Amino acid sequence: MVKLDRVSFSYGGAPVLKDVSLTLPKSGAICLFGPSGCGKTTLLRLIAGLEAPTDGTIHRKASRVAMVFQENRLVPWLTVRENLLLVTDDGDAVEKALAAVSLQDVANELPDALSGGMQRRVALARALAFGGDLLLLDEPFNGLDDGLKVTVAAALRERFAECPIVMVTHSLDEAALFDATVITL
């Protein structure tokens, strides 16, 4: 489904990644792990198709990519529910996603009325509502307590059970929630 073949990437001539080859499994999770600035987010953006490699090739047959960015990227003038309805017109999927992240009670609130952790759960719920055949997570659990991490990770694993999941995190405990294969950059 997704294969990187000798991928390199540079920002303004400064190399970030060099000769990365990787084949994602048909299902299951991979965790990109390593120090800040080593290219984890860049690699995720390359997999998503948001950046093009400087050298090498990326073969991606996934047609519906769900991505949770480091930033929540919520539309501030739309309610929580309306932010989810941006990615699907399936009201049942929206309600299930809200329940999975325990946000049903604030579905009609604007994002600014929510705490940072609640806003993060909206971003995660949006990926749940969207679905897709590839899930990309960039530091997905910022602002969530340990109990919510477990609950939300379980919901994501269930929703994307038949798909590859690639996550970026600085926490091996978070990678363990997905039973992820850890790749250190």
**pLDDT tens column, 94-147:** 999 999 999 999 999 999 999 999 999 999 999 999 999 999 999 999 999 999
Question: Is the pLDDT reported for residue 37 higher than 90?
Answer: no
| DSSP symbols for 141-157 | TTT--HHHHHHHHHHHH
pTM above 0.85, yes or no: yes
**Could you tell me the residue ranges of all domains in the chain?**
2-184
Amino acid residing at 176: A
For the cut 80, the answer to whether the pLDDT of residue 70 exceeds it is yes
Percentage with pLDDT > 70 across the chain = 100
Q: What is the pLDDT of residue 1?
A: 77
Interacting residues of 2 by C-beta distance below 8 A, sequence separation 6+: 23, 24, 47, 58, 59, 60, 61, 62, 134, 164
Cβ count near 168 (within 10 Å): 24
The CATH class of the 2-184 domain is: alpha beta
CA distance 127 to 129: 5
Classify burial at 157, counting beta carbons within 10 Å of its beta carbon; exposed 0-12, middle 13-18, buried 19 or more: middle
Average pLDDT over residues 10-29: 93
pLDDT digits (tens, 9 = 90+) for 138-180: 999 999 999 999 999 999 999 999 999 999 999 999 999 999 9
